[in-house]
Structure 1
Amino acid sequence: MNEPSPPQSPLAVPEGMTVLQSSGLPSKTTNPYLIQLLASLPPGLRVEYFSMLRALFSGYDVFHVHWPEYLVRHRSRLGTAFKQLGAFFLLLKLWATRTPVVRTLHNLQPHEGSSRRERALLAWLDRLTTVWIRINATTEPRLPVTVTILHGHYRDWFASMPAPNAVPGRLLHFGLLRPYKGVETLLAAMADIADAQVSLRIVGNPASDGIADEVRQACRNDGRISATLRYVEDAELASEIGQAELIVLPYRQMHNSGTLLLALSLARPVLAPWNQANAAIAEEVGPGWVFLYRDELDARVVAETLASIRQRGAIAAPDLSARDWDKLGRQHHDAYASALRAAKEG
């Protein structure tokens, strides 16, 4: 289960190794993490994008899975049934052909609830996994092999987009608004902040009508709170982040956060719950960028963090050098090659 030593020479892999990604053809709403990963892969590696027909009936050397629940979920019950049937035959094919599976551990488990059938399919996929990729070194390794390839930064992605100066007192919570992200906790803390110069922006697409209604009600109750409840383009997001004095992420579950790294990539400090993963990032990027709290977020924590940011003055940008994509692309190539070699030797 321990990570193997980095190879001293390239692994023997077939010319033109083909990797099927579990994500579809990139679009404007595709997670930039995936787009940057695909762009960073070395020349000579062939990438295929997922469709169930391609997965079932085409040939490929490695199957790379990111968020496995998306393979078995659909908005409708009928759609879910069809996707799960397709997933069953896909897993059967992977098992019969001994096609290696590489799995990136973005989350330790799906954030929303799952059915018994879904859990059974995902457990089967786990058993078929040849190489696990953890994107932070605090994730518990899994058998048979786990390698660490850190989550890359977003500096290059947003480099061409102007970011305005921070607005004093501006708090920002952004990203897909899902139940585990604790936006209602942030709204409650904001209601207890007496300082009229503190404002709160909520930016992102709500996962449910209930979350949207709660945010809209808070905006009506407090003129310091405003929201953009939809998907926003990258340039607009960069502007929102740039105007924030502090990014606040009151997540109930937080292990790997692209949102946190996005904020740091645009040199904005972040307030987040304490855990080993966040503490490791705080140490990695340098002091004054990641502020951690224990227990529940409240008005006192927010006020103390704003005071700390103002007292620190100008400091060096966050150190994200360990997350450069050129290096991460080579590491992914090596992980694919390791999985393929293990499948052939097994």
Structure 2
Amino acid sequence: MAELIVQQSFPEPRPTTNPYLVMLRDGIRTVPGVEVRTFSWRGVLTRRFDVFHVHWPEILVSGHSPVKKLVRQGLTLLLLGKLAVTRTPIVRTVHNLDVPDGISRREKWLLRLIDRRTTLRIRLNPLTPMPPQAAFETIVHGHYRGWYAPHPRSPRVAGRLAYVGLVRRYKGVDALVTAFHAAFGGPEGAEPVSLTVGGKPSSAELVEQLRSLAAGDGRIALHFSFLSDAELVEAVTRAEIVVLPYREMHNSGGALSALSLGRPVLVPDNEVNRMLAAEVGEPWVLRYDGELTPAALESALAQVRTLSADAGPDLSRREWDDAGRAHVAAYRRAIALLR
């Protein structure tokens, strides 16, 4: 019998599940005496467990229809009641700094309730602010090297820049397309350069805007669909550099994906990204200040060409076995704090 039963807030993984969750589950399972369960409403309401680990709590209280949303919200209240009666701690990983936009007052109230019931928080970098007097641990996001290992790498294409990931307004893909369109001397420039954008878009309006911005520039290829792991590996490894021009950037799995595949990234200059550069190697995390400009793209492409072909970023602090052990220690601390 397991010494510690950990109930996660995500269901059994599917092909579209965030790899972070799958790798975390597998990393925790390497610790002897620990059982990790994935989420089902029947399971969390009827079975015993020692700790409940929630990642994006808004998923618990949302639904694709008003009826489904209402049912989930009622089940969430039942779950919180059970956790209170059994004195089972909630551990929450703080992936995002803010409450999601566009949610109802009832959802916000339930999220505040979950927040008040949280015993311990896990942050992914030491700059994530924590509430006063809150118990927390810092456990960095692990790398993706093992995750992408089954997929073949593609040869690097000279002059290729890439963006991969969900295409949302706050991720600044419009700024990237605009800056690239004006960079490198225009479409008839002497250097063969190209930009590929791949990922599932958040809206038809954003797709139309990006297609309009790229119109007439044959160097820009837009692929608006969910990328499989094999497609992501191909898109990243064909590039000389991956550009992530997020307007808000605090925790980025996209940057770690590119670094895990041996490609440098160009990201906004902020304290989080400066810390990442100091950790993995300055040449691997290039930064720009303010708005993304054509000059920033041209400078970044020139800089990455100074890296040797066999070089790689230092991801030694981001092993999943280490993360698994650190999470188990955090769970045990949460249990001790509550009981």
1:6 maps to none
Q: Distance in 2 between matches of 1:180 and 1:326?
A: 33
2:142 maps to 152
| Larger CA deviation: 311-320 vs 31-40 | 311-320
1:18 maps to 5
List per-residue Cα deviations over 1:55-88 (Å, max 9, x = no partner).
2232211100111111122233333232222222
Find runs of 4+ consecutive structure 1 residues off by over 6 angstroms.
none
Aligned pairs (5 A) from 1:165-204: 165-193=155-183, 194-196=185-187, 197-204=192-199
Q: Distance in 2 between matches of 1:81 and 1:218?
A: 41
* TM-score, L = length of structure 2: 0.92
2:47 maps to 58
Q: Distance in 2 between matches of 1:15 and 1:76?
A: 38
Q: Distance in 2 between matches of 1:221 and 1:80?
A: 44
* TM-score, L = length of structure 1: 0.90
Letter in 1 for 2:10: S
Contact 2:174 2:213 in 1 (8 A): no
| Larger CA deviation: 155-164 vs 89-98 | 89-98
1:38 maps to 25
Partner SS, residue 288 of structure 1: helix
Q: Distance in 1 between matches of 2:301 and 2:335?
A: 50
List per-residue Cα deviations over 1:196-234 (Å, max 9, x = no partner).
422111111111111222233344432111122111211
Q: Distance in 2 between matches of 1:84 and 1:111?
A: 16
Q: Does 1:284 align with 2:279?
A: yes
Q: Distance in 1 between matches of 2:328 and 2:76?
A: 25
Q: Distance in 1 between matches of 2:236 and 2:285?
A: 15
1:234 maps to 229
Flag the 1:233–1:254 CA change in 2: closer, same or farther, 3 A. Answer: same
Match of 2:334 among 331, 335, 339: 339
Q: Does 1:328 align with 2:328?
A: no
Flag the 1:91–1:153 CA change in 2: closer, same or farther, 3 A. Answer: same
Letter in 1 for 2:91: V
Aligned pairs (5 A) from 1:213-292: 213-292=208-287
Contact 1:218 1:225 in 2 (8 A): no
5+ residue gaps, structure 2, are none
1:298 maps to 293
List per-residue Cα deviations over 1:147-170 (Å, max 9, x = no partner).
111100001111232212221121
Letter in 1 for 2:197: I
Aligned pairs (5 A) from 1:26-105: 26-41=13-28, 42-105=31-94
List per-residue Cα deviations over 1:14-56 (Å, max 9, x = no partner).
9431111010011111111111111111132111211223222
List per-residue Cα deviations over 1:134-185 (Å, max 9, x = no partner).
1111212344311111100001111232212221121111111122111111
Partner SS, residue 340 of structure 1: helix
Contact 2:63 2:69 in 1 (8 A): yes
| Larger CA deviation: 206-215 vs 31-40 | 206-215
Q: CA RMSD in A?
A: 1.8
Contact 1:111 1:180 in 2 (8 A): no
Contact 2:242 2:264 in 1 (8 A): yes
Partner SS, residue 173 of structure 1: strand
How far off its partner does 1:117 sit? 1.6
Q: Distance in 1 between matches of 2:17 and 2:277?
A: 27
